[in-house]
């Protein structure tokens, strides 16, 4: 299953346990695939740099390198107009549309508001983990 992962979910998954970490674990086992664009990668790297300076004990750079190397990197088609209330969030929507991902995983209220846009479900990490990652009996 191909998904787009918002930056807040990626960072939470690296630094904390819980649903975002479960999503990264599922990715490491090949259960989900991430779709990325150069704009998303730039945001991931920017946030990683800031956090690496604050929390020296976590080697976020090598984790990000693995994620980038083993993700589908696509060239997004322009949306043509601003869709999200926060224009900075449009890059995740453009990535999902261009990569034919049906799911964006995010805790961002601006993205969550537009769930359903052109068939894309925007879902919280907890809801994604409960719906798609729970083990079958």
Q: Kindly report the pTM of this predicted structure.
A: 0.91
Question: How many domains does the chain fold into?
Answer: 1
Cα Rg for the chain, rounded, in angstroms? 14
Residue 41 sits in which domain range? 2-133
* CATH code for the domain of 45: 3.40.50.1010
2 and 101 in contact (C-beta within 8 Å)? yes
Q: Is the pLDDT of residue 58 over 70?
A: no
Which residues are registered as beta bridge partners of 103?
3, 121
Binned at pLDDT 50, 70 and 90, residue 56 comes out as: low
- Output the CA–CA distances (angstroms, integers) from residue 25 to 10, 51, 77, 85, 102, in the order listed: 11, 21, 30, 31, 20
Q: What is the largest CA-CA distance in the chain?
A: 45
């Amino acid at each position: 299953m191909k998904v787009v992962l918002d930056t807040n979910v990626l960072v939470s998954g690296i630094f904390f346990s819980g649903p975002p970490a479960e999503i990264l674990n599922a990715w490491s086992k090949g259960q989900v695939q991430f779709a990325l664009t150069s704009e998303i990668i730039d945001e991931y790297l920017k946030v990683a740099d800031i956090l690496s300076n604050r929390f020296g004990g976590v080697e976020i750079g090598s984790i990000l390198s693995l994620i980038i190397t083993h993700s589908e990197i696509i060239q997004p088609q322009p949306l043509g107009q601003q869709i999200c209330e926060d224009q900075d969030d449009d890059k995740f929507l453009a990535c999902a549309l261009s990569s034919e991902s049906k799911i964006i995983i995010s805790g961002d209220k601006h993205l969550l508001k537009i769930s359903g846009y052109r068939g894309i479900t925007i879902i919280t990490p907890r809801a994604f983990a409960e719906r798609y990652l729970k083990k079958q009996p």
